Structure 1
């Protein structure tokens, strides 16, 4: 039986409790024992981390201490998997360059609607866009068989490095009210090998309805299985 550690918290707007609770039944049905922590303090517990096969993190923004980050990174290097979605993994711990290196991609923006269409709430950043599976994604266990799909939600613009394996992308068009002058393609789903550990990030997931989209949910569920420590 595999062990999964869910670590959640940070900005309440991403509903970290409700969002992670969506996936607990799947993990339990897949043979995991599930532990839930409301703080990153657990990352500094070497015994817990050594016994953890998969970390599912849902903490938007917030901060992390040096010993907590060192514990997380060391566990991943030894084979603990790390998975998450949206700001819970790609917009965590902005103060930590070491965390950004571990994950390989960082939220930079979610471009908004034309100014005249904005109402002053979160829907100002809800845009229709397509998640496009890459050639590598079509062959990867996390995304194989998933067709390109459309969402209307926050579209993440991600800064990333060359060590990520991009399974799906999304393109931000150049619009008259935006300062960029050509389309920009960002990773929407990626994996990363870090030591013996596997990391999976999916950028869709702002709200529960997005997490319940069949393709998004399948990617996250497959990603958790794939990232789990082998053996």
Structure 2
């Protein structure tokens, strides 16, 4: 029996400044090269279709802000807890700000980008031999630097530093997770805060981290 291709479901939309459609197409191409069958939706209504969510091996919410209904939240969180994977980047952790269950599942929530929206900083890989980052090495980016609230149980794959205080929020130097993975019930979660714009997603280091994270998070 020939094994079927895995199925990925991308949900894109919200704030147009994050270029959700363009980034969704980049992610879809990346997944198709890994032999996924990919569907892209530009409406949150898909989260009302529990059976459709359950058919997916991987769900990628590329949405900024927005709101989920209680039913949609339950459909999504229970689908992931049952074994479907979830992966995302950048705005994935700036979605559904009033839905604490979603934030807990992702493992973090965007708060601000102190220092401005375009800063240069180093991304450090504290466990360079981890399979999700091995061979990539530290690198420098010029883009948004996310300051976040994070779940202390996440497994940090990459971090950056806020070295200069930016009152009132950042009052001392801070090491901030940039990418992580975690478990949510039987589902796997991968998140990378990089990806404010398509050129950042297409950076070799970022795209390789994301490729590995997408494959890792998908249903086993």
Q: 1:33 aligns with which of 34, 37, 42?
A: 37
Query: Any idea what the Cα deviations from partners look like across 1:25-79, whole Å, max 9, x if unmatched?
Result: 2211211111111112212212111210001110011111111111111111111
Q: 2:125 aligns with which of 108, 128, 133?
A: 133
1:1-231 → structure 2 map (5 Å cutoff): 1-87=5-91, 89-112=92-115, 124-135=116-127, 138-175=128-165, 178-179=167-168, 180-230=170-220
State the Cα distance separating 1:178 from its structure 2 match.
3.4
State the Cα distance separating 1:174 from its structure 2 match.
2.2
CA distance in 1, matches of 2:133, 2:112: 25
Contact 2:59 2:86 in 1 (8 A): yes
- Give the match's secondary structure for 2:153: coil
Contact 2:50 2:76 in 1 (8 A): no
After TM superposition, which residue ranges in structure 1, 4 or more long, deviate above 3 angstroms?
177-181
What TM-score, normalized by structure 1, do the two folds share? 0.89
Task: Look up the match of 1:119.
Answer: none
Supply the RMSD in Å over aligned alpha carbons: 1.2
Number of residue pairs the alignment of both structures matches = 215
CA distance in 2, matches of 1:141, 1:10: 32
Q: Which moved more, 1:52-61 or 1:177-186?
A: 177-186
State the Cα distance separating 1:223 from its structure 2 match.
0.6
- Give the match's secondary structure for 1:133: coil
**Structure 2 residues not aligned, in runs of 5+:** none
Query: Any idea what the Cα deviations from partners look like across 1:88-135, whole Å, max 9, x if unmatched?
Result: x111100111111111111111012xxxxxxxxxxx421110110012
CA distance in 2, matches of 1:207, 1:50: 30
CA distance in 1, matches of 2:146, 2:20: 18
Contact 1:141 1:226 in 2 (8 A): no
Contact 2:58 2:87 in 1 (8 A): yes
Query: Any idea what the Cα deviations from partners look like across 1:123-176, whole Å, max 9, x if unmatched?
Result: x421110110012xx23322122101100110011111222111111110124x
CA distance in 2, matches of 1:52, 1:196: 14
